[in-house]
Amino acid sequence: MNKKIALITGASSGIGYETAELLSRSGYIVYAVARHVDKMSDLTKLGIVTLHLDVTNELTIQPLVDKIIQENGHLDVLINNAGYGSYGAVEDVPIAEAQAQLDVNLFGMARMIKAVLPQMRKQKSGRIVNISSMAGRIWTPLGAWYHAAKFAVEGFSDALRLETADFGIKVIIIEPGAVKSNWSQIATKKMLENSSDGPYSQLAEQAAANFKRTYDADINKHLSRASLISKTILKSLTSRNPKTRYLVGYGAKMSVFMAAVLSDKHFDQVSRKFM
């Protein structure tokens, strides 16, 4: 039997990197793509094909997908991991920055999916794994655009799942909680750049301090490792009947549970206190 072919975006660090390594060790032929190919040299040593790709550059996506299909004759798995968090008060964040975040986190994912769907429909099989977040199910101050992107990923994935079911394609959403990665560094940096000087400065400073307490592994001994998420992704790929959603990692289940059982106003109070 031919080995399964997996394409992973945002594979230069964190969840994407760990998933590329795990899938390769589990017998998949892995194509790991990212903007920073130089950070994937260790993956290359494992036999993983590492390639440059920016998911916001539409002209380069289809040629890359076509190359993978030509080399293997099929494409079985797409893992949309590329994304980042840009925080700041709505009043402070430039619309251009908000558009950039949506371009990567939502439209980049959509570009990748549109490129692989014709082949998956043709072979009547495939799994599309979209990395969302617990932030697609809850809300916090200063995260409006990140939450908007992840809420959109959730709704987009649900609709896609219905559209592709008749073609044997399964769409899976992974919703990580707090994970040790450079995500929090970027989010905190943007938060302070956008909102540390102005009417939201006190909130931004408090939120930045909270991010450090939550995402610094030396402080928070319960912080999840990216390997936990990669193992969950592999589970979703090997399960005969995968869940539509996998909520996993530090704080994820508790946060989403509280958002579900509390009134919006009560959850608002919890969220503000947490931040």
Give Cα 236 distance to the centre of its chain: 15
Which residues is 172 bridged to in the sheet? 129
Express the helix, strand and coil content of the chain in percent, nearest 5 each: 55, 15, 30
Query: For the whole model, what pTM was predicted?
Result: 0.95
pLDDT of residue 273: 85
pLDDT of residue 115: 98
pLDDT of residue 241: 96
pLDDT of residue 1: 54
Domains of the chain: 5-274 (3.40.50.720)
CA 26 to CA 66: how far, in whole Å? 24
Which residues is 32 bridged to in the sheet? 8, 50
Q: Tokens 């006190």 correspond to what residue?
A: 202
Give Cα 45 distance to the centre of its chain: 25
pLDDT tens digits in sequence order for the chain, 275 residues long = 589 999 999 999 999 999 999 999 999 999 999 999 999 999 999 999 999 999 999 999 999 999 999 999 999 999 999 999 999 999 999 999 999 999 999 999 999 999 999 999 999 999 999 999 999 999 999 999 999 999 999 999 999 999 999 999 999 999 999 999 888 899 999 999 999 999 999 999 999 999 999 998 888 999 999 999 999 999 999 999 999 999 999 999 999 999 999 999 999 999 988 87
Q: Are 50 and 24 in contact (CB under 8 A)?
A: no
pLDDT of residue 274: 80
Query: What is the side-by-side strand order in the sheet with 49-52?
Result: 49-52, 29-34, 5-8, 77-80, 126-131, 169-176, 245-248
3-state SS class at 6: strand
pLDDT of residue 2: 82
Residue 89's contacts (CB-CB under 8 Å, 6 or more residues apart) are 141, 142, 144, 194, 195, 198, 199, 200, 203, 204
Catalytic residue IDs:
146
Q: Are 109 and 211 in contact (CB under 8 A)?
A: no
CA 117 to CA 124: how far, in whole Å? 10
